[in-house]
Each structure stands twice: as C-alpha cells, then as structure tokens.
C-alpha cells in the first residue's frame, strides 16, 4: 500500500508535468501494473481471511451456546404465555388437589395401621413371652426365640415410623449422621441380605446434624428404597454413603441403572415414575420435606460424582446452620 501511494504520487506528478513523457515512461507503467496486481492479490487474500473468520464464527461453541440460550429464552416466554392461560392454571390446581387427596389417604391409612398395631402390641408381646417360658425346655425354643427377635425388630421399626406421622410436632435434636444411616439401614436389612447388597458407609463419625429426625429419615429411606429397586437386575449391587465437607453434602450413590438423561429434569415432579405400580411421589415429597427446613435434595450427574461407580447419585445439601460439627479437611 505504501508503494502504491508512492507510485500514485509520482504518476500524478508526471501527469501534471508532461503528459507525453508519461506515455513513454514504460518503467513507470510496468511498476504501476505490478503494484495493481499485488493489490488485487492482497484483496483476494483478505476476502479469503474474511470467509475463514465467518466460517469459524458459525462453527464456534460460543455462537451455538448463544443460539441455544436464545432458543430457551423464547421457549420460556412461550411457556409464560401458556401458564397465564386460565385453563392451564385450573388444570394445575386440580392436579395438586388430587395429589394432596392421595397423600391424605396414605396418611390416614398409616395412622390407622399404627393405632391398630399399638392396640395389638401388648397382647402379642404377652403371648410371645408366655410361649417363650412354656417352650423354653423344649426343641421349639429356638423357633420361639426367632419369632421374639422378629417381633422386637418390628417394634423398633414401628417406633421409628411413628414420628413421621407427626413431623411438625417434633423438635430438632443432634443427630450423628453416620450412626443415623446405620440405624436407618436396619429398616432394609431383609432386602440387603436377600439381594446381597454391599453397604459402604464412609460418612465421618463426627458429622452432627441438628434436625428433626423424620426430616432426614423420609428422604434418605426413599433414596435407599429406589436404589435397591433399580439394582435388582445388576450383577454389582452396592450403596455408598459419603460426605463432602466442601459444600456440606451427603451423597447416596448406588451401582444401579442410573437415571436417563431424558428423565433427569422430571424425577422430582409429582406422579413421575418409572417403577411398575409406582406412585411417583417419593422424590417429590422428599425434596419438599428437606426444602421446608432449608436443605436441598438433588441428582448429581455422573461427570461430577466423587466416586466413579456409575449408577445414580443423589445429594442432600444441608442448611449450613444445621451442621454443628464436621471433619476439617
């Protein structure tokens, strides 16, 4: 470009001084032609570079993410219009009423069962004790002993479940998280033995959570129950419990089938289930129960799990005020 300006200046000077001389100056004309050819080549290279930059922008991740974000914004705006529709809102309200009607039925059934159990408890216990004494010197004594142990286990489970019916009336207490998980697993002891499930409890011994016991029991029990169900057809059956002090989170990680990517966004919705004869309320109620106390239940994706064992990994992030003591890392 500098050469072109230089020759342009000379060309104008020659033109002004002597037009005839200009026409006879072959060297100058040749030089100008070469500069013009170089200029055309530079223009072509610049066009190629512009096309290359354009193609690079079209294929860039930033552009794709921007387009995806704009698409989501448009979808959200469309959804807002749908939600503002009266018929849609009425449909949501009807669905919510049906859900609470079902929950009320389950609660009433549980209360009635608990009341009936308490009424029969003393009668059964007295009869079992009488049989134990009467048959103690006979070969039937071991059988009665096993019946007595089974009934005692049933009593413990019923005692643990009873507070769940009156959650709002219970007070928070200091809960050793590791021991709490061990005690909770007794509820599933039959299935754990039957299906040869390995339990790995790596929660540190000094993690203390101040909370209502039933607030933790219901969600953890639900996640464990789901883990057992989805591991039945697996060769490797393990449930791992571990804790992250970084974000105060308990992880419950199984080696089951995992959660399909297409289902991840819906698993906490009411009535969504992949189980045969499932109600689809377990995870919804578990998250709702924990959120009512400032905690959060979530599904961790396999990319960010702390253990590389596949399956499904659920996390309970505790309200920071509920953790009284934790391991210093």
Q: How far apart are CA 15 and CA 218, in angstroms?
A: 97
The ranges assigned to domains in the chain are: 2-75, 105-168, 170-329
Ordered strands of the 249-254 beta sheet: 198-201, 238-244, 249-254, 313-317, 296-300
Quick one: tokens of 200? 């790995």
Across the range 310-319, mean pLDDT stands at: 94
The pLDDT tens digits for 30-60 are 666 666 676 667 676 777 777 776 666 666 6
Comparing 59 with 180, the larger pLDDT belongs to: 180
Identify the weakest region by mean pLDDT among 20-24, 63-67, 85-89, 296-300: 20-24
Comparing 134 with 238, the larger pLDDT belongs to: 238
**pLDDT reading at 327 higher than 50:** no
- pLDDT for position 96: 64
Instruction: Name the residue among 259, 272, 239, 241 with its Cα closest to residue 300.
Output: 259
pLDDT band at 252 (very low <50, low <70, confident <90, very high): very high
Tell me how far the alpha carbon of residue 160 is from its chain's centroid: 28
Across the range 114-126, mean pLDDT stands at: 68
pTM of the model: 0.58
Q: How far apart are CA 81 and CA 38, in angstroms?
A: 59
Output the CA torsion sign for 315, 321, 327, 329: positive
**pLDDT reading at 19 higher than 60:** no
The pLDDT tens digits for 163-172 are 555 554 568 8
- Pairing state between β 198-201 and 238-244: parallel
- Determine the CATH number of domain 170-329: 3.30.565.10
- Give phi and psi for 240, each to the nearest 5: -110, 135
Tell me how far the alpha carbon of residue 151 is from its chain's centroid: 38
Quick one: tokens of 95? 């669905």
Q: DSSP string of 260-322?
A: -GGGTTTTTSTT---STT--S-HHHHHHHHHHTTT-EEEEEPTTT-SS---S-EEEEEPPGGG
Q: What share of the chain is helix, strand, coil (3-state, %, to 5)?
A: 65, 10, 25
The pLDDT tens digits for 54-106 are 666 666 666 666 677 777 777 776 666 655 566 666 666 666 666 666 655 55
């Amino acid at each position: 470009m500098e050469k072109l300006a230089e020759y342009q200046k000379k060309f104008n000077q020659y033109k002004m001084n002597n037009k005839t001389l200009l026409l006879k100056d072959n060297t100058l004309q040749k030089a100008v032609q070469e500069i013009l050819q170089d200029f055309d080549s530079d223009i072509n290279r610049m066009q190629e570079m512009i096309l290359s930059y354009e193609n690079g922008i079209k294929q860039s991740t930033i552009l794709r993410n921007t387009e995806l974000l704009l698409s989501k914004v448009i979808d959200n705006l469309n959804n807002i219009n749908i939600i503002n529709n009266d018929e849609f809102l009425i449909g949501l309200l009807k669905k919510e009423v049906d859900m609470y009607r079902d929950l009320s039925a389950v609660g009433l059934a549980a209360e009635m069962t608990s009341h009936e159990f308490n009424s029969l408890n003393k009668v059964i216990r007295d009869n079992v004790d009488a049989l134990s004494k009467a048959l103690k010197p006979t070969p039937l004594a071991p059988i009665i002993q096993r019946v007595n142990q089974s009934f005692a286990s049933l009593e413990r489970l019923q005692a643990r479940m009873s507070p769940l019916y009156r959650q709002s009336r219970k007070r928070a207490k200091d809960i050793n998280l590791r021991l709490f998980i061990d005690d909770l697993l007794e509820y599933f002891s039959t299935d754990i033995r039957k299906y040869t499930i390995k339990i790995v409890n790596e929660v540190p011994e000094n993690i203390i959570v101040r909370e209502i016991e039933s607030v933790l029991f219901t969600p953890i029990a639900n996640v464990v129950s789901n883990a057992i169900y989805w591991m039945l057809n697996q060769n490797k059956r393990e449930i791992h419990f571990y804790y992250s002090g970084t974000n105060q989170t308990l992880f419950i990680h199984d080696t089951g089938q995992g959660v399909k990517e297409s289902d991840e966004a819906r698993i906490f919705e009411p009535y969504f289930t992949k189980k045969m004869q499932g109600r689809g309320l377990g995870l919804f109620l578990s998250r709702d129960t924990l959120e009512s106390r400032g905690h959060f239940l979530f599904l961790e994706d396999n990319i960010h799990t702390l253990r590389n064992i596949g399956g499904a990994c659920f996390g309970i992030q505790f309200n920071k005020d509920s953790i009284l003591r934790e391991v210093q890392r």
